[in-house]
């Protein structure tokens, strides 16, 4: 089912006018959007570079590709390691084998943010433009996927080509929540993101202990002032069965905890608007 984009953005506008979203002063730029049920709170609704958050929509496309073509997660792909990037983040380079299953490639890409694994999936399942076209077919328009990890590695300016706005990412997270039980591929991605190895001090650090969080992070290179882009997007699962989709993107952050600060500010804005987010055990 496609999302009614007009209804979605009207809701965002009404909540902004009502003052649901508020900003806090910081030395870095940020944007956020969170959605619980029919209530959405956001602060900027502007496009930011995704960095490795891009691997989440890519994974959804890979699930579509494998399912459509009847390719099992257990199918192996031959990897020529001598042709891979060696001066990039890639835990798979330390694994002493030359064949990887699609399940292993997805795990490396989503849980450990392996750049080579991401590009292998681009090579065998579909190029960036194909991934973007699939995401748009879901009714989600403001997510741009133009470049591979290799292209961004070779030309850092290309990092600004893979972008999205916070509300579009929340739409995609909501789509994933609604469809994650559709097939074994999406179920597998759900489980992988519930056990993400990155970003422990980002949104997760702002959550109450009883919450579960499935997510994907993205991180840009540091500039001369040790500032960098730090992103985190995901779905918060509460014991009462409710969920919250949240997307945070930053520029010129100095630590992962800056993302946690934005998350706490977003949660507070939601409460200021008169809406219940967590139980009394809130952080």
Name the average pLDDT for the chain.
89
The conformation of residue 182, written as its DSSP 8-state character, comes to S
Report the pLDDT value the prediction gives residue 9, as an integer from 0 to 100: 47
User: Of 269, 265, 231, which is closest to residue 250 (Cα–Cα)?
Assistant: 231
Lowest mean pLDDT segment, chosen from 23-27, 39-43, 227-231: 23-27
Q: Model confidence over 143-156: pLDDT tens digits?
A: 999 999 999 999 98
24 — pLDDT class (breaks 50, 70, 90): low
Of 45-59, 160-174, 238-252, 260-274, the poorest mean pLDDT is in 260-274
**pLDDT given for residue 282 in this prediction:** 47
3-state secondary structure of 253: strand
- Among 85-89, 183-187, 229-233, 266-270, name the one with the lowest average pLDDT: 266-270
Residue 20: the pLDDT is 40
Domain topology for 5-272: Beta-lactamase (3.40.710)
Residue 274 pLDDT grade (very low, low, confident, very high; cuts 50, 70, 90): low
Cβ-proximal residues to 217 (8 Å cutoff; 6+ apart), any chain:
52, 53, 113, 196, 198, 199, 202, 230, 231, 232
Task: Look at residue 18 in the predicted model and tell me its pLDDT.
Answer: 37
pLDDT band at 138 (very low <50, low <70, confident <90, very high): very high
Which residues make Cβ contacts (< 8 Å) with residue 140, sequence separation at least 6? 3, 168, 171, 172, 175
User: What is the structure's pLDDT at 281?
Assistant: 46
């Amino acid at each position: 089912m496609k999302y009614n984009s007009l209804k979605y953005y009207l809701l965002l506008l009404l909540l902004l006018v009502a003052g649901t979203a508020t900003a806090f002063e910081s030395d870095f730029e940020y944007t956020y959007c969170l959605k619980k049920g029919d209530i959405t709170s956001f602060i900027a609704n502007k496009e930011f570079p995704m960095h490795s958050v891009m691997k989440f929509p890519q994974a959804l496309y890979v699930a579509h590709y494998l399912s459509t073509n009847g390719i099992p997660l257990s199918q192996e792909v031959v990897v020529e390691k001598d042709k891979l990037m060696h001066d990039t983040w890639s835990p798979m380079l330390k694994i002493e084998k030359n064949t990887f299953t699609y399940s292993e490639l997805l795990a490396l890409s989503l849980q450990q943010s392996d750049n080579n694994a991401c590009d292998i999936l681009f090579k065998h399942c579909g190029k960036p433009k194909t991934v973007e076209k699939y995401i748009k077919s879901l009714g989600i328009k403001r997510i741009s996927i133009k470049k591979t990890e290799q292209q961004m590695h070779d030309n850092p300016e290309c990092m600004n080509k893979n972008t999205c706005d916070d509300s579009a990412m929340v739409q995609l997270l909501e789509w994933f929540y609604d469809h994650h039980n559709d097939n074994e591929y999406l179920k597998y991605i759900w489980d992988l993101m519930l056990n993400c190895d990155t970003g422990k001090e980002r949104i997760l650090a702002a959550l109450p202990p009883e919450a579960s969080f499935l997510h994907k992070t993205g991180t840009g290179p540091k500039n001369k002032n040790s500032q960098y882009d730090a992103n985190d997007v995901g779905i918060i699962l509460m014991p009462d069965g409710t969920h919250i989709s949240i997307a945070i993107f930053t520029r010129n952050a100095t630590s992962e905890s800056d993302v946690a600060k934005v998350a706490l500010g977003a949660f507070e804005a939601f409460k200021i608007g008169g809406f219940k987010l967590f139980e009394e055990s809130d952080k």
